[in-house]
Structure 1
C-alpha cells in the first residue's frame, strides 16, 4: 500500500499546487478520510464489498454477473486482500497527502522557474527539482505511514473478521479471546521491532543518499 499511497499523495499535492478550479473542494474531498475512524472506514467499505453490497448490486444490474462476486469469502484470498488494500488506501492516503502538501509549500518557486527557462520538461522539473526538495517531507510520510501500516487492524477486522489475520489482530486475539497476555506481548514486540527496523532502514538509506551526493 505504501508506495501506491506515496504516488497518489504526490500527484494530488501537485494538482493542488497547480491551483485548479474549486481548489478548496478538492482539498476537503481528499482529506475527508482523516475524520473517519479505522472501524468506520472498514464498515463503509464493507457496505461496498459485501455479497449484497453496492458493488455487487451494480454488477448484477449491469449484467456482468448473475449473483455477484464473493469478494470477502475466505476462499477468495486475492479479492479479500484487494478489498482491504483499497479500503486502507482510501483511508490513509489523505495523511500522506497533508504531509506532502505542507512540504511542497516550502519548495522555492525560483528553482522551478529557472528549470523552465533552461527548457526542462514537466517530468524533468518534477524528478530533478520538486522531488529532491520534497525529500524531508517524503521521508516523514514514508516512516509514519509504514509504521501505521504495520499497525493496521480495524479496517481488515471490519471487512473480513478473522479470515484476514494481521500482526496487531493476532495480538488482540491472543490477549482478549484466548486470554494469553504472554503471547500477545510477544506479538506486540514483533510489531515494535519491525517498526523500529523499518524507521532505521529508511533513515539510513536517506542519509547514505545524502552522503553520496
Structure 2
C-alpha cells in the first residue's frame, strides 16, 4: 500500500505562514492583554488584522486549497462528513474537508469581529483603540464588553480546532499537523497537487 502513495502538495507557503503566524499572534495578543501591556496588545491586533486581510485576498487568488470556493461547503456536507468520522479510512483529502472548511470560516469571522471591536474598545483606564474617539464613551464601553465576550468564543473555537486535530490523529490516523508545516502529505497516486504560485517548492 505504501508503494501506492506519493508526496502530494496540499498547502502553499503563504497559507502555512499565515496559519502559524496567526496562531502565534493570537497567543501574543492574549498574553499582552493579560499582562496589561496594552501598547503591544494593539500591535498584535494590527498584525492580526493585516494577516486576516491577506487571507481574504488569498482566499480568492491563492492556490486551489486556499481558495474559499474550493472548501466552503454547506453545513449538511459537514454533518455528512462527520457522520463517517469513526471510519478509519485512508486520507484522500487535498485541502480542507467539509467540516474543516466551516471551522476556517468561523475562526476568520470571529477574529475579524475581534479586531473590529478592538479598534473601538478601551481598557477603562488610559488606553483606547484608534477609532474609539469616533463613538461615545458608552458605546465604546459596550463594544469593549463584546470584545471580551467574543474572545471567549474564539478560545472555544481554538480548543475545538485542536481537539479535532487530535481526534483525527487518534481515531483516523490522519496527521493534519505535518502537512501544515511541510506543505505536503502522502496520498494515493494520482491525486492532483495543489496549484501554487511557487510550484517549484
Does TM, scored on the shorter chain, surpass 0.5?
Answer: no
Higher RCO (C-alpha under 8 Å, 6+ residues apart): 2
Select the structure that is richer in helix: 1
Q: Which is higher, the Rg of structure 1 or of structure 2?
A: 1
User: Given the two structures, how large is their TM-score scaled by the length of structure 1?
Assistant: 0.28
User: Given the two structures, how large is their TM-score scaled by the length of structure 2?
Assistant: 0.29
Select the structure that is richer in strand: 2
